[in-house]
Amino acid sequence: MIIAPAMRVLVSGGAGYIGSHMALVLAEAGYEITIVDNCSTGHRGAVDAVRLAVASASIVFEECSLDERDRIAALMTERRIEAVIHFAARASIAESCEHPLQYWSTNVGATVALLEAMQIATVQRLIFSSTCATYGVADGACTGIDESSPQHPINPYGASKVAAERAIRDFQHANHRGGGSFAAATLRYFNVVGSDPAGRIGEVHDPEHHLVPSCLLAALGRRSAIEIFGEDHPTSDGTCIRDYVDVSDVCAAHLAALHHLRDGSEITLNVGAGRGHSVREVVRACERVSQCEIPTRTAARREGDPAKLIANTREINRLLGWTPLRSLDDSIASAWRWLKANPAGYAEVKRES
Give 342's contacts (C-beta < 8 A, 6+ positions apart).
202, 348
Pairing state of beta strands 241-242 and 277-278?
antiparallel
> What pLDDT is recorded for position 261?
94
Q: Which amino acid is at 214?
A: S
Is 32:6 a contact under the CB 8 Å cutoff?
Answer: yes
Is 218:299 a contact under the CB 8 Å cutoff?
Answer: no
Give dist(CA 72, CA 88) in Å, integer. 13
The CA distances from residue 14 to 38, 187, 239, 250, 285, in Å, are 10, 16, 33, 14, 29
Sign of torsion over alpha carbons 210, 212, 217, 223? positive
pLDDT in tens, 174-204: 999 999 999 999 999 999 999 999 999 999 9
pLDDT in tens, 262-278: 899 999 999 999 999 99
Cis amide bond preceding 207, omega within 30: yes
CATH H-level superfamily of 8-341? NAD(P)-binding Rossmann-like Domain (3.40.50.720)
Looking at residues 18-39, what average pLDDT do you find? 97
First and final C-alpha spacing in the chain: 39
Give dist(CA 8, CA 5) in Å, integer. 9
> What pLDDT is recorded for position 139?
62
Per-residue confidence band for 306, with pLDDT thresholds at 50, 70 and 90: confident
> What pLDDT is recorded for position 142?
56
Looking at the DSSP bridge assignments, the partners of residue 246 are 193
Burial 221-248 (b: 16+ CB within 10 A, else e): eebeebebbbbebebeebbbbbbbbbbb
Residue 205 clears pLDDT 90, i.e. is over it: no
Residue 36 clears pLDDT 90, i.e. is over it: yes
Per-residue confidence band for 220, with pLDDT thresholds at 50, 70 and 90: very high
Looking at the DSSP bridge assignments, the partners of residue 270 are 188
> What pLDDT is recorded for position 304?
78
More confident residue, 207 or 258: 258
Give dist(CA 348, CA 69) in Å, integer. 33
Q: What is the DSSP string of 40-70?
A: SSS-HHHHHHHHHHTTTS-EEEE---TT-HH
Q: Return the SS3 of 107.
A: helix
> What pLDDT is recorded for position 191?
96
Q: Give, for 86, the enclosing helix (H) or strand (E).
A: strand 83-86
> What pLDDT is recorded for position 141?
52
> What pLDDT is recorded for position 3?
46
**Which residue numbers are catalytic?**
157
pLDDT in tens, 139-168: 655 568 999 999 999 999 999 999 999 999
Chain-wide mean pLDDT for the chain? Answer: 93
Q: Return the SS3 of 300.
A: coil
Kindly report the length of the chain. 353
